[in-house]
Amino acid sequence: MKISHWALWLGLAVASAIGLAPAAAETFTDDAGRKVELELPIKRAVIFNRYAVEFARAIGAIDKVVGVDASTMRDPAYWPQFKETDIVGQGQTQPNYEAIVALKPDVVIIPRNGVYEEAARQLEAFGIPVLVVTAWDTLQHVENVTLFGKLFGQKAKADALNAYYTSYMDLLAERLKGVERRRVYLEEVRDLVTVTPGSGWHDMIEAGGGINVFGDIDVKKEPSSRGNENSFTVDPEEIIARKPDLVIKLQPGSYKTIPQAKFVESWKAIVAREEISGTPAGQAGNVRLINYYLAGGSSKVTGALQVAKWLYPEKFADVDPEAAMKEWIEIYQGLPFQGGMTYQGTASN
């Protein structure tokens, strides 16, 4: 028996009115090249990795996030929406599948450096799809945010976030045209640990007009003991040999302002190291500390602005990276900005 278009429309209208409208199924190709079918809009999501959870909050979908990892929650002041019972694993490499299943999510979102293949196998029997989205990837911001807007039915807010990001990336590209790029050594919180191509931090340096002094490293050709793209161990002699013009040291991620005394202590420690003092950056006093939160704000665009301002102060005299970060925190994360996210010591310190 055929159903008329009128009857079909009436049935859908009634179903919608009583909350039974069927979700729309759509197939996505994720960041790992996998085909994943999801029913939209997503109403319950488990998300691994802070950067992806920030995207959800930035587009007004944080109420749809029912589970996060402990790594995200290590700064609870930044996440008043969550409590300990919302934690579903230590991090993107250590999911708690029992906790995930108990939450009955529509999707689990995990970055490409997480255990997404294992997660997909473990959750398949429960009908929980796994989608790979790498929100820490500096160069995939627009693609990732657009995807989040579609997943959660928040296109307008996703478009606004993309406009914020692209305005600063366009500013960087315009002002850095033709500059003689300067060399940067970026060090992780741990000493002698840096980043290489394939890391969002590497792309942040380049977006800010710098040359990563370890940008020629292909980690696939290096011993696995040296680490990965985001965490690559180097020898002190290598730092000196690569002659950075600027040294940037990441400070432990903290939404709240890092105490000045802590900045001073960290700065004294790094400038006292021979492999730092023996570089052009060390000799010229171009050693800077940066809070993880400023470095990583909105796909690291705020970090790229800070790199550019340190490298080319004459070209970015009117640009305040902390003002851009304030916008990210207050408008897109809905929290008061704490400030004081960088430190530049002097000989008198």
Q: Read off the DSSP letter of residue 50.
A: H
Q: According to the model, what pLDDT value does residue 16 have?
A: 43
Q: What is the pLDDT of residue 346?
A: 74
pLDDT-derived band at 347 (thresholds 50, 70, 90) equals: low
With bands split at pLDDT 50, 70 and 90, how would you rate the model's confidence at 312? Answer: very high
Q: Tens of pLDDT along 121-159?
A: 999 999 999 999 999 999 999 999 999 999 999 999 999
Percent of the chain with pLDDT over 70: 93
- What rounded mean pLDDT belongs to the chain? 93
**Which has more pLDDT, 117 or 15?**
117
- Residue 310 burial by Cβ neighbours in a 10 Å radius (0-12, 13-18, 19+): buried
Q: In angstroms, rounded to a whole number, what is the distance separating the alpha carbons of residues 286 and 280?
A: 8
- Report pLDDT for 226: 97
Distance between alpha carbon 253 and the CA centroid of its chain, in Å? 12
Residue 12 has pLDDT above 70, yes or no: no
Which pLDDT score, from 0 to 100, does residue 187 have? 98
Q: Residue 1 — pLDDT band, cuts 50, 70, 90?
A: very low
Nearest-CA neighbor of 159 among 167, 171, 149?
149
What are the tens digits of pLDDT across the range 279-308? Answer: 999 999 999 999 999 999 999 999 999 999
Instruction: State the Cα–Cα distance between residues 90 and 136, nearest whole angstrom.
Output: 18
Residue 22: per-residue pLDDT: 53
How far apart are alpha carbons 86 and 99 in whole angstroms?
A: 9
Mean pLDDT of 155-170: 98
Positive or negative: CA dihedral 165, 53, 50, 25: negative
> SS3 of 311, please?
helix
Q: What is the pLDDT of residue 284?
A: 97
Average pLDDT, stretch 247-271? 93
Over 80: is that where the pLDDT of 309 sits? yes
Report whether 302 contacts 325 (CB < 8 A).
yes
